[in-house]
Structure 1
Amino acid sequence: MTELVRPDVRYHASWIVGVAEFGGQHKDGGSDLLEDVATLTHQDAFAAMVERLRADALEETPRAADRVPATALWIVHGGEFVGFLQIRHRLTPYLLEEGGHIGYSVRPSARRRGHATEALRAALPIAKDLGVDRVLVTCDEDNVGSRTVIERVGGAYEDSRNGKRRYWFEV
């Protein structure tokens, strides 16, 4: 069963393998919090990254002016890390145009198995609990897989801007 979990050190080994599939570096749901994966093979560095991801959900956590609080979640199946998901608590002008409230990515070896669909479906009530009543999710125009996920979960297409398809969910 696919589930969303808060970042946790117990997924260290499968996280390292999964992120390597993205080419060695990845932005966790759009966040710039990740460092070089080689550094994160060390337990202490990984634990510090997990704590930063968790702290990013708190309003009081210092951040750049163009950043908003965001809840980072990991997509897990059978106890193994298979992807990232991030819920941004509100929208900046950029996020309203292109980024949306929720971003997600599934590691290449785990794609086309329903993980993204289940994760997005599970993320919507979490977004509502965070105070987001209308959720924007975007994808690249040419990303057929993500478009299919969003439409399967019930996103209502609004328009396309700057090469991004924009979908809304009422939660």
Structure 2
Amino acid sequence: MEDNVRLIEPTADYRSEYLEMTTEWRTAGEKLIPWVLRFDSSNLHTMLQELDRLKHDSHLEEGKVNCSTFWLVKQDRTMLGAVNIRHRLNASLLEIGGHIGYGIRPSARRQGYATALLHLALREARILGIDKVLITCDKDNIGSARTIINNGGTLDSG
């Protein structure tokens, strides 16, 4: 699975693929996850600047932490999902959110892409210096729980 997918940093070169993916999510009536997919993409340049600011700016607004966003794409450029990696945690993220938030578009689910996405995201987290990663999911999100377990994680209902 991992051989035919990779993480890329958000770029205008994938504008149409990004819009196709987010449109599918919205058409399905689902909440876009991770949260950065909910940014206004009508001006992609502005959206990409905001993602860059969140990654690099050392003076973010109260409650925000630096984070890196990546898109999961196949070799044929199909965009399958996205991941957001928070560089550190604040009190709120310790409860809900954790270090990594990820999502796979509806038509690509149950095909192993979430497991591949999280595996690649964990590599990126290590590069960022995050050795112990917290990932949270709702208790009824069986798919996400399996994805976490498939990547060597353990579930803690506390």
What residue number does 1:169 align with?
none
In 1: Cα distance, 2:132 partner to 2:124 partner: 12
Q: Deviations over 1:33-57 (max 9, x none)?
A: 701x5xx2xxxx1122112212211
Gaps of 5+ in 1: 161-171
- 1:18 equivalenced with 2:21 (yes/no): yes
Superposed CA RMSD in Å reads 1.9
Residue 84 of structure 2 aligns with an amino acid whose one-letter code is Q
Residues 29, 86 of structure 1: 8 Å contact kept:
yes
What residue number does 1:73 align with?
70
Q: TM-score, normalised by structure 2?
A: 0.87
User: Shift of residue 28 of structure 1?
Assistant: 5.8
Residues 28, 72 of structure 1: 8 Å contact kept:
no
Residue 9 of structure 1 aligns with an amino acid whose one-letter code is A
Structure 1's consecutive aligned runs of 4 or more residues displaced over 4 angstroms after TM superposition are 24-28
SS of residue paired to 1:76: strand
What residue number does 1:163 align with?
none
Give 1:56's match in structure 2, choosing from 54, 57, 78. 54
Residues 27, 34 of structure 1: 8 Å contact kept:
no
In 2: Cα distance, 1:65 partner to 1:72 partner: 20
Change (3 A) 1:74 1:26: farther
Aligned residue runs from structure 1 range 1-171, under 5 A:
1-23=4-26, 29-31=34-36, 34-35=39-40, 37=41, 40=42, 45-60=43-58, 62-78=59-75, 79-160=77-158
- Percent sequence identity is 34
Residue 55 of structure 2 aligns with an amino acid whose one-letter code is A
Q: Relative to total residues, which structure has the larger strand share, 1 or 2?
A: 1
Change (3 A) 1:64 1:27: farther
Q: TM-score, normalised by structure 1?
A: 0.81
Gaps of 5+ in 2: none
Residues 11, 80 of structure 1: 8 Å contact kept:
no
Residues 28, 86 of structure 1: 8 Å contact kept:
no
User: Shift of residue 158 of structure 1?
Assistant: 2.4
Q: Deviations over 1:50-80 (max 9, x none)?
A: 12212211142x4221010000111111312
User: Shift of residue 107 of structure 1?
Assistant: 0.6
**Comparing 46-55 and 6-15, the one that deviates more:** 46-55
SS of residue paired to 2:65: coil
User: Shift of residue 21 of structure 1?
Assistant: 1.7
Aligned length: 152
User: Shift of residue 112 of structure 1?
Assistant: 1.1
